[in-house]
């Protein structure tokens, strides 16, 4: 499954929730949303640890050691950037579940969190 496929599936779920063809009891929707919120929190923590790992030292002063250090740092930054997609997806699922339960104000907050996750990926 690709990121694009997942996005399409999530968008379809959200559209069905908005149309009222998929409905959840508000309490059940909130529990599902909380699960995705916890997942996003865990992914954010992992992303922060990867970003910190991208700035490790101790490889020595040789050019080859500096190249290895740069390579590991690059891989950690790439992995951290990739996690932003999964963080966004978790917030989008949270939003869709909240919509399906008729919890629209809470869904708006999840949408804002998803937008913040996207914002971290935008090159400045």
pLDDT for 124: 40
Query: Is the model's pTM score more than 0.75?
Result: yes
Token pair, residue 92, equals 């989008």
Q: What pLDDT score was predicted for residue 24?
A: 96
Averaged pLDDT for residues 45-54: 86
pLDDT in tens, 51-72: 887 777 777 777 777 787 778 7
Position with higher pLDDT, 17 vs 118: 17
Quick: pLDDT tens for 101-116: 999 888 998 888 888 8
| Token reading at 98 | 């909240």
By CB atoms closer than 10 A (0-12, 13-18, 19+), residue 57 is exposed
Whether residue 121 is predicted with pLDDT greater than 60 in this model: the reply is no
């Amino acid at each position: 499954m690709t990121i694009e496929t997942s996005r399409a599936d999530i968008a379809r779920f959200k559209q069905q929730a908005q149309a009222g063809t998929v409905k959840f009891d508000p309490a059940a929707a909130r529990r599902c949303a909380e699960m995705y919120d916890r997942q996003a929190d865990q992914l954010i923590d992992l992303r922060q640890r990867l970003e910190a790992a991208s700035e490790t030292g101790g490889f020595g002063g040789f050019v080859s050691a500096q190249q290895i250090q740069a390579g590991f740092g690059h891989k950690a930054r790439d992995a951290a950037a990739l996690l932003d997609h999964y963080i966004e997806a978790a917030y989008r699922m949270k939003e869709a579940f909240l919509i399906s339960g008729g919890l629209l104000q809470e869904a708006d907050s999840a949408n804002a969190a998803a937008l913040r996750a996207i914002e971290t990926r935008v090159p400045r």
